[in-house]
Structure 1
Amino acid sequence: MQKSYKENKLEDGILSKLSGKSKQIASLIFNDREIITLQNHSNIVSIKRLGYNDHGPVHMKKTALNAMIMFGLLKNKNIKFNLEKEELGNSEDSRISILLASLLHDIGMSIGRDNHEFLSVNLSIPIITRLLKKIYPKNIEKRTVIRSTVIEGIIGHMANRTITSIEAGLVIIADGCDLEKGRARIPSLLSNEAKAGDIHRFSAQTITKLEIDEGKNKPIRINVHMKESAGLFQVEKVLLPKIKFSTIKPFIELYATINNSKKRNYL
């Protein structure tokens, strides 16, 4: 299957932040025909059948890139993830867990929207098992722990069930940070008819850029730029609740900038 320019660019961005085993597993994912098919079919169901925004390969790769940026910022501040703190693995194992969860979290959309996080888990388990066996061929204990951590990240990304690890908490916010107008572009092109949930589409179209950088007082600063105040809906109803739910909330600064002038500080 031919990938879009944006997909290839996101893959290059993700790979540039990886090395060793995490880079190896990312390359396996990007060339796995089952994963590629599931990601693409998720968009067919989400956009063409249901009229939702992007839940396909671009969104999942954007989530993964966001996650890798935040992972690096936390690691630079010597914040340990749960696998390392609990002596179950190291930071590279945590990175792999987050990467897998980010790139698989919405494949359940290939079946439907309702409880899609549970559907994603069901579809992901054999894939996760298969990929981890290639990376950790002789270490069943590590494969088992990482698989559980990946599943927590997938099943928790809707911020409606309790999560306990920093790894899963990072996935939630990385997913919520995909707010920019491009995510709503295809549904807007396909239909101009009013329907329930359009506020998500129209508010997303006002978001021009989302930046993830080192914070002044906390490890991570998220700044959402928008051309109109309608974009505040995305910040206050989509991203902020996910941050408040997440285990990494104490490490986040959140700002919204309207028209390059008015700035709101949320966290």
Structure 2
Amino acid sequence: MTGASPRDADQDAQDVGSLEDRVAAANIRLPVRGNRKLDGLVAAVNADVQLKAWWHAAAVNAERLGMSDHSWVHIQIVSNIALRLTRLLARRGIRLSSVADHGLDERDAEVIIVAAALFHCVGMSIHRADHEQFSLFLTADKLPALLAPLYDEPRRSIVVAEASHAIISHRSKGAPFTMEGAIVRVADALDMAKGRSRVPFEQLLPNIHSLSSYAIESVKISAGTDTAVHVEIEMNNSAGIYQVDEGLGTKLRGTPLAEHLEVVARIDAEHEERLVPVFRLS
């Protein structure tokens, strides 16, 4: 393929114009598929200038620190991945925690998962260190207000509580104990293709993190045969195994999602000796 990726195109649009223009450019797109509450949440989020400003500030802080993309584009990608994982699990009849424990339905679970994905790194607008906790602080008032037209109590508070668990669970030692928390945690890790970095590779200090991140060409998520979800990762260099094993693997192992998701990484590069042509995460 040639030309700019969807991430590049969205980020180019974001980088043009005034602060107000850049904030206004954020526009989350999701396949709501008739889920009216999810559609209502996305519409409310797209109309909320304060939340968009937090995403912008998070992106700026990430750039200041030479980190990978934490803009609204990352938010949209993680939200879409999380929704994809959720629906593949539902297709296999796997009940999510909010459905099993609270008696909510699958559409409510989608709202919980997307809400968590939308808010999971807004705390980066304050600081990188402990940003997950800052995300909870910002979520505490904002998310209930966005959900007020969609849910009455006590369901609204349950949705907020479950989304908040998923938000805090995406930190390095988050240990999610709900399927929703595991989905958001893994979806965040699956935004790993090399376009994720807004810092040119040549400017990075070469280390295993930068080399591994740049080696990931693409991530494809589909229905599995033996498991509900199959993830196939294309790499251009075996250095990408570190990103798959230490990045994604660390986020997946020990979660309720682990038994339902298989990961296969393939190396398709003529210029290097194929020491590990196929790597399976276990």
Q: Does TM-score exceed 0.5, indicating one fold? A: yes
- Measured in 1, the distance between the counterparts of 2:168 and 2:155 equals 20
Unmatched 5+ residue regions in structure 1?
Answer: none
- Measured in 1, the distance between the counterparts of 2:9 and 2:155 equals 35
Residue pair 2:37, 2:150 contacting (<8 A) in 1 also:
yes
Compute the displacement of 1:4 (Å). 7.7
Q: Deviations over 1:177-206 (max 9, x none)?
A: 01001111x2127x71527xx432332112
- Look up the match of 1:241: 250
Unmatched 5+ residue regions in structure 2?
Answer: 1-6, 12-24
Compute the displacement of 1:5 (Å). 4.1
Residue pair 1:39, 1:107 contacting (<8 A) in 2 also:
yes
Compute the displacement of 1:87 (Å). 3.5
Among candidates 89, 93, 100, match of residue 115 of structure 2: 100
Q: Go from structure 1 to structure 2 and tell me whether the alpha carbon gap of 1:17 and 1:244 turns closer, same or farther (over 3 Å shift).
A: farther
- Measured in 1, the distance between the counterparts of 2:34 and 2:208 equals 36
Give me the identity figure in percent: 23
CA-based RMSD:
2.2
- Look up the match of 1:166: 179
Q: What residue identity is the alignment partner of 2:28?
A: E
- Look up the match of 1:175: 188
- Look up the match of 2:51: 35
Q: Go from structure 1 to structure 2 and tell me whether the alpha carbon gap of 1:227 and 1:17 turns closer, same or farther (over 3 Å shift).
A: farther
TM-score (norm 2): 0.85
- 1:206 maps onto 2:222 in alignment: no
- 1:194 maps onto 2:194 in alignment: no
Aligned residue for 1:221, secondary structure, equals strand
**Structure (1/2) with the larger helix percentage:** 1
Compute the displacement of 1:165 (Å). 1.0
Residue pair 1:213, 1:222 contacting (<8 A) in 2 also:
yes
Aligned residue for 1:109, secondary structure, equals helix
Aligned residue for 1:114, secondary structure, equals coil
Q: Go from structure 1 to structure 2 and tell me whether the alpha carbon gap of 1:238 and 1:193 turns closer, same or farther (over 3 Å shift).
A: closer
Residue pair 2:82, 2:183 contacting (<8 A) in 1 also:
yes
- Measured in 2, the distance between the counterparts of 1:170 and 1:18 equals 21
TM-score (norm 1): 0.89
- Look up the match of 2:96: 81
Q: Go from structure 1 to structure 2 and tell me whether the alpha carbon gap of 1:108 and 1:253 turns closer, same or farther (over 3 Å shift).
A: same
